[in-house]
């Protein structure tokens, strides 16, 4: 079965679309995804790439684009969602603990749902604790872990790995170091994974 690394950062608006549809895509496409949280804000600042700050026309387009694509996927977000996230880094530190313990996917879906469908910013209360409880995790245990130096270092290490692969935004799908950026490139990543990166046969 093909495996695709799903690099995402809670705080990315377009990642909502991938996060909420990925389990069904995995089932229908017959592939599996490895959920890889990282800090996209760090990479964007390092690369002087702040896509929507002080760009109201571009931001308005982004929200409308998310809304259109969400409708296509059967999703019902409240647009615009709270943005940007003050708790972006902490939200991903929670996710990095989840990645180590095996519940990152469930947490990420829960926190995005509350953020986009209930206007509760991810990385803040009540979203964080409610999302953890929803997936059967104890906030009293997880929140100190997520705030620890261990989580800080783990997220930094994951972010560095993402940068080394050429990841510059979220969501990004990586297949054997081949990078596909954006929710609209998910199907391309699946095709590449299934054909093992072989180019299409030339037409006769």
| Cβ count near 167 (within 10 Å) | 24
Angstrom distance (rounded) from CA 65 to CA 6:
21
3-state class of 175 per DSSP?
strand
Identify the pLDDT of residue 202. Answer: 43
For domain 2-194, say whether CATH 3.40.30.10 is its number: yes
Domain boundaries, the chain: 2-194
Enumerate residues 6+ apart whose C-beta is below 8 A from 51. 44, 58, 62
115 closest CA partner among 136, 145, 85, 141:
85
Identify the pLDDT of residue 47. Answer: 86
3-state class of 63 per DSSP?
helix
pTM: 0.92
From first to last of the 204 residues of the chain, give the pLDDT tens digit.
789 999 999 999 999 999 999 999 999 999 999 999 999 999 999 988 777 777 899 999 999 999 999 999 999 999 999 999 999 999 999 999 999 999 999 999 999 999 999 999 999 999 999 999 999 999 999 999 999 999 999 999 999 999 999 999 999 999 999 999 999 999 999 999 999 755 544 443
Please give the helix or strand (H or E) that residue 6 lies within, else none.
Answer: strand 2-8
Angstrom distance (rounded) from CA 46 to CA 4:
26
């Amino acid at each position: 079965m093909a495996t695709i690394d799903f690099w995402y950062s809670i705080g990315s608006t377009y990642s909502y679309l991938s996060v909420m549809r990925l389990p069904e895509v995995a089932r229908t496409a017959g592939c599996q995804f490895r959920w890889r949280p990282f800090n996209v804000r760090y990479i964007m600042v390092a690369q002087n790439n702040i896509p929507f700050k002080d760009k109201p026309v571009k931001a308005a387009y982004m929200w409308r684009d998310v809304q259109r694509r969400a409708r296509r996927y059967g999703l019902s977000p409240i647009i615009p969602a709270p943005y940007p996230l003050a708790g972006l880094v902490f939200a991903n530190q929670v996710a990095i603990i989840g990645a180590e313990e095996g519940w990152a996917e469930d947490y990420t879906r829960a926190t995005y749902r509350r953020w986009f469908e209930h206007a509760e910013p991810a990385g803040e209360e009540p979203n964080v604790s409610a999302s953890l409880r929803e997936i059967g995790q104890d906030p009293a245990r997880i929140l100190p872990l997520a705030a620890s130096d261990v989580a800080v270092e783990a997220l930094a290490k994951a972010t560095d790995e993402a940068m080394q692969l050429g990841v510059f935004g979220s969501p990004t799908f990586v297949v054997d170091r081949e990078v596909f950026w954006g929710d609209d490139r998910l199907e391309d990543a699946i095709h590449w994974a299934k054909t093992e990166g072989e180019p299409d046969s030339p037409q006769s």
